[in-house]
Amino acid sequence: MDRRWGISVPLPELSLPEQRELIAELPDLGYTDVWSSEANGADAFTPLALASTWAPQLRLGTAIVPVYTRGPATLAMSAATLAAAAPGRFALGVGTSSNVIVERWNGIAFDEPYKRVRDTVRFLRQALRGEKVTESYDTFEVKGFTAGLVADPVPPVLVAALRPGMLKLAGREADGAIINWLSPDDVRTVVPYVRQGGADKEVVARIFVMPDIDPDTARGLARRHIAAYMNVPVYRAFHEWLGRDEFTPMWQAWDAGDRKGALAAIPDSVVDDLVVHGPAEYCRERVQQYVDNGVTTPAIALVAPGDPTEAVRALGLK
């Protein structure tokens, strides 16, 4: 596999139209991929559609689209449309998302997440090939759906995964896994589960990066991001499984309603493990450690405030 170097879009602090010139510059900076996400900002597909025309050399990927918030057929149609618009350059990443996004924000029951992802992947495999699908899955039923648009080639499907069950599913039934909120050392723990499904499985990692910001400021910003994620049940369970006991005081304070205490309880060592910060050269080296430990496609996610232009340029490989 060729060396990949990705970045998350849309880029922060810029409107979508304002990103055109910088995204067009990405290939010349050494970036090979752009990966989107979907929570409460831009949807997962539109920024990629724009990037596909602004920088046709880039590979496009969703990391991730929730399996609950679109119906199976609508999800397949969205994926097929982008794959047809950018032949051979799109990868569909799907996952459970979280109870916050699915239940609190979209009013959809967050039931049987493992089965819902498994069933969605099985449906997508058939639907994206243009097969007629009539199937009663454990978590939904499809009666007589045939996609009217079939991309050539059919896009790969990847699964967002944290713990062993989903990691194994990603390797067994999908083309690979999407991981995030972990350290380079943690990569050595999670990747072998994916590779049980084949040594060639792709592993995409969203890596949170703040280049050229002083350590105190970077750690203060990072603590807020960490607290927001690590108290969501799926991420808490992930780090409990990893054995990150350093989070226990933070979890205890959060459960007691002490938000300030929770922030203060996150040690610098954990911040430095999970969020890459420091001089741009060090940040590039730190991202490379993820690759050295088993990630095939790093997807840098800038989390610092302000115009991202210089950070994007500084983190490129050229």
CA 318 to CA 142: how far, in whole Å? 47
In a domain, 89, yes or no: yes
Please report, to the nearest 10 degrees, the dihedral formed by the alpha carbons of residues 268, 273, 277, 280 taken in order: 150
207-229: burial string, b at 16+ Cβ within 10 Å, e else: bbbbbbbeeeebbebbbebbbeb
In a domain, 243, yes or no: yes
pLDDT at 305: 87
Same domain, 148 and 260: no
Same domain, 172 and 99: yes
pLDDT at 86: 98
With H, G, I as helix, E, B as strand and everything else as coil, classify residue 299.
strand
Pairing of strands 202-211, 275-278: parallel
CA 64 to CA 167: how far, in whole Å? 15
Q: Which domain holds residue 33?
A: 6-211+279-315
In a domain, 311, yes or no: yes
Same domain, 111 and 127: yes
Burial of 34 (0-12, 13-18, 19+ CB in 10 A): buried
pLDDT at 126: 98
Task: Please state the domain count of the chain.
Answer: 2
CATH no. for residue 74?
Answer: 3.20.20.30
Same domain, 304 and 180: yes
In a domain, 1, yes or no: no
Same domain, 222 and 288: no
Same domain, 296 and 192: yes
CA 298 to CA 204: how far, in whole Å? 6
Beta bridge partners of 301: 208
248-270: burial string, b at 16+ Cβ within 10 Å, e else: eebbebbeeeeeeebbebbeeeb
Listing DSSP states for 85-118 in one string gives HSTT-EEEEEE---HIIIIIIT------HHHHHH
Same domain, 145 and 239: no
pLDDT at 1: 53
Of 159, 129, 157, 134, nearest in space to 145 by CA: 134
In a domain, 261, yes or no: yes
Cis preceding-peptide flag for 87 (omega within 30 of 0): no
pLDDT along the chain (318 residues), means of 10: 91 96 98 97 98 98 98 98 98 95 96 98 98 98 98 98 98 98 98 98 98 96 96 95 98 97 97 98 98 98 94 96
Same domain, 21 and 85: yes
- Distant-in-sequence contacts of 308-314, Cβ < 8 A, 24+ apart: 308/11, 308/12, 308/13, 308/14, 308/22, 309/22, 310/212, 311/209, 311/211, 311/212, 311/280, 312/7, 312/11, 312/22, 312/26, 312/29, 313/25, 313/29, 314/211, 314/212, 314/280
Of 292, 243, 247, nearest in space to 267 by CA: 247
| Tally: H helices and E strands in the chain | 14, 12
CA 251 to CA 135: how far, in whole Å? 42
Listing DSSP states for 176-187 in one string gives EEEEES--HHHH
CA 21 to CA 153: how far, in whole Å? 29
Same domain, 204 and 238: no
Same domain, 63 and 188: yes
Same domain, 40 and 93: yes
Cα angle vertex 191, ends 193, 69, to 5°? 80
In a domain, 238, yes or no: yes
Same domain, 205 and 102: yes
In a domain, 20, yes or no: yes
